Every structure is written in C-alpha cells, then in structure tokens.
Structure 1
Amino acid sequence: MSTRQFERHGERLLAALAYPLTSVARTLAFVVTAAATYVLLVLSSFPAYSMQMVSADVWYLDDAVVALTANTYATIGAVGFALVVAYAIVTGVAVTNAVGRLRHVGVSGTGGLMSVAPGLLVSGCASCGAGVLGLLGFAGALATMPFHGNLLRAGGLLLLFVYLARAGDPSRCDIE
C-alpha cells in the first residue's frame, strides 16, 4: 500500500470516528448503541446468572451489570476489560455509520455494510466469553486461548477499524 493510500485510509477512519458526533441525534444513537453493546457483552459473560437476576425482577439488571463488570475485570484483567469497552464504543460508531450510510445511499449502495459482520461476530463472541461459545458447544474454547482471548478481541477491533477506514464518513462521497 502506498503512502497516499495509507493516509487516505487514515483520513477516512478519522472521519468515520467523528461522524457520530456531528449531530445530537447521531450522538444519542451512538451512546445508546455503545451502552447496549456493553450491557449485552457483560450480561452474556455469565448467562445463567444474568437470566436468574433478570427473571427474578427487572430491577436487578443494574446489580447484574455491576457484578458482572467486576467479574469481567477480575477474569480477563485490565487489558481485556479495556478491549471489551473499546469494542462497545467502536461498535456504537460502526452501527451509527452503517445506519448513516443506509440513509445517505439507500439499500442499493450498502454492499460494504457486510464487511462489518465479521468484526461484530468474532469480537462479540470473544468478548462475551463462554456464554455464546457454550451455546455453540465450544465452552472451553476461550479458556484454552492464550491471553484470555484478548488477541481475538483485538482482532475483532481491527476488523471494525478496517471497516470504518474503508467506509469513511457516510455523508461524504470519496470518489475522486
């Protein structure tokens, strides 16, 4: 890749990261999506506990999130926890950009939206731990991975960043 192409991808990545902050509605959608992603990731790290708490009373949801946040930090450490938080934030950006692209170019021009799927799936499964992997029959898979699955989380984040660098700001046309 040439220097100019690398610079262009960097510019598109920065534009994509800034896009959710360009209006109040986008910022609100970004924050809600990021928070919902974080809650989903943390709750799915221990699905049996989450289901018991929420089925006992919906008002236990905050207790479950706080307890499982502490559990996630204790289990995967500061680096893994930071990757989970970063994944939630970047997912909020990616979803906001995908919706913006859908609005600006319509369904016919959204072929690039499918490139976000691998990052969401790979990193999502790694972030939620044995919850989803256990449902798929791979309960011990994450436990056998080096660095508590942090490399898989980082790989998922890298895929999301590649998607954002390719997509750029959905409201601008980058065709020269």
Structure 2
Amino acid sequence: MTGQARVRRWGSDLVDALTYPTTSVPRIVGGVVVAVLTYVLLILSTFPGMSMQMLGAGLKWFDDTLVLLTENVLATNGWFGLALILSYAVLTGVAVVNAAAQVSLTGVSGLSDLTGVLPGLVASGCASCGAGLLGFLGFAGALAAMPFHGDLLRVGGILLLVGFLARAGDPRTCRIDA
C-alpha cells in the first residue's frame, strides 16, 4: 500500500470513527453524556480548592462554579485553550462510545486496540485539569513550567485520541490488512 493510499485510508477510518456515534439515538445520548461529564470534570479540576469549597457549601453553587471556572480557563488560556478542552471532551465521548461498541462486538480479547486510548486520556486529561491532578501526583509546578500553559500537552493528548480513533475506525467493521 502506498503512502498516499494509507493517508486516504487513515482519513476514511477517522471519519468512520467520528460518525459512528451519530448512527443511533442511544449512541448520540451516550456520547453527549460522556462529553458533558468529561467537560465538567476537567473544568472543576482546574481549580480543585475552589471547586471543593463551592460544592461543599451545597450543590446550588454547581452552576456558578462551572461558569466561574470556565471564565477562568478562558481568561488564563484564551479561546484556544477552551477549544482544546471542548475538543478533548467531545473526542472522549466519541472514543468511549466506539470503545464500548468494540468491546461488545469483539469481547474482551479486542482490548488490544482499546489500549491506544489510555495515553490520550491520561496525557490530555492531566493537561486539561491543570495543577489539580498534577498536584495530587506531586507535580504541581510542572504545568506552570510548561510553555503555552500546557496547551502543547493538550494538543498531544488530542492527537493520541485522534490516532486511536483513526486506527480503530468504525467498530462495526472488521478489516484484515494484506
């Protein structure tokens, strides 16, 4: 297979993977729920101290906390940083729906393809949540020392997720490379 044919096939598989969650209402709902939960988790973990204080005072502060922390991400990382977090959340929703379909179709033995999603989830998740998760791991200053507020790490995590999706393609199809 030539390089141009591989790129074309990779692009086709990526489109198939990205469109698979839109093929039924339960998949759409599942993908949206995972994307929203991912976004909420990432935004709340950008400033874990504030999140715990506000939510500790009651769930009535949940919406205020979410809005304030979204504005904080926008103020510190700009539209590009917020777009990266949104992209990560949407891609996570797509990846989880595709991974669930792949497991249900191929069983647990098909998990070798699913391991490709883990580095993307960890790398991009750590960068998106900021010092919250890194602080728990003992690397509180690591994100602050990164150029572009960790946006390069976010882009790397997103690329890993895109690579997983392109490699996996539509989970309903099985292909054997010659």
Match of 2:20 in 1: 19
> In the alignment, residue 82 of structure 1 is paired with which amino acid?
A
TM-score relative to the length of structure 2: 0.96
Report deviation, 1:174: 2.1
For 1:175 and 1:55, how far apart are their aligned partners in 2?
Answer: 53
Map residues 157-172 of structure 1 onto 2, 5 A cutoff: 157-172=158-173
Gaps of 5+ in 2: none
How far does the alpha carbon of each residue in 1:92-113 deviate from its partner, in whole angstroms, 9 at most, with x for none? 1111110010111111122110
RMSD: 1.0
Match of 2:126 in 1: 125
For 1:30 and 1:175, how far apart are their aligned partners in 2?
Answer: 28
Gaps of 5+ in 1: none
> In the alignment, residue 40 of structure 1 is paired with which amino acid?
L
Map residues 146-161 of structure 1 onto 2, 5 A cutoff: 146-161=147-162
> In the alignment, residue 67 of structure 1 is paired with which amino acid?
L
Match of 1:71 in 2: 72
Q: What is the total number of aligned residue pairs between the two structures?
A: 176
Match of 2:136 in 1: 135
> In the alignment, residue 136 of structure 2 is paired with which amino acid?
L
Question: Which secondary structure does the structure 2 equivalent of 1:143 belong to?
Answer: helix
Match of 1:112 in 2: 113
Report deviation, 1:138: 1.1
For 1:109 and 1:70, how far apart are their aligned partners in 2?
Answer: 41
Question: Which secondary structure does the structure 2 equivalent of 1:174 belong to?
Answer: coil
For 1:129 and 1:150, how far apart are their aligned partners in 2?
Answer: 10
Report deviation, 1:56: 1.1
Identity of aligned residues (%): 56
TM-score relative to the length of structure 1: 0.97
> In the alignment, residue 43 of structure 1 is paired with which amino acid?
L
For 1:174 and 1:73, how far apart are their aligned partners in 2?
Answer: 42
Map residues 3-42 of structure 1 onto 2, 5 A cutoff: 3-42=4-43
Match of 1:144 in 2: 145
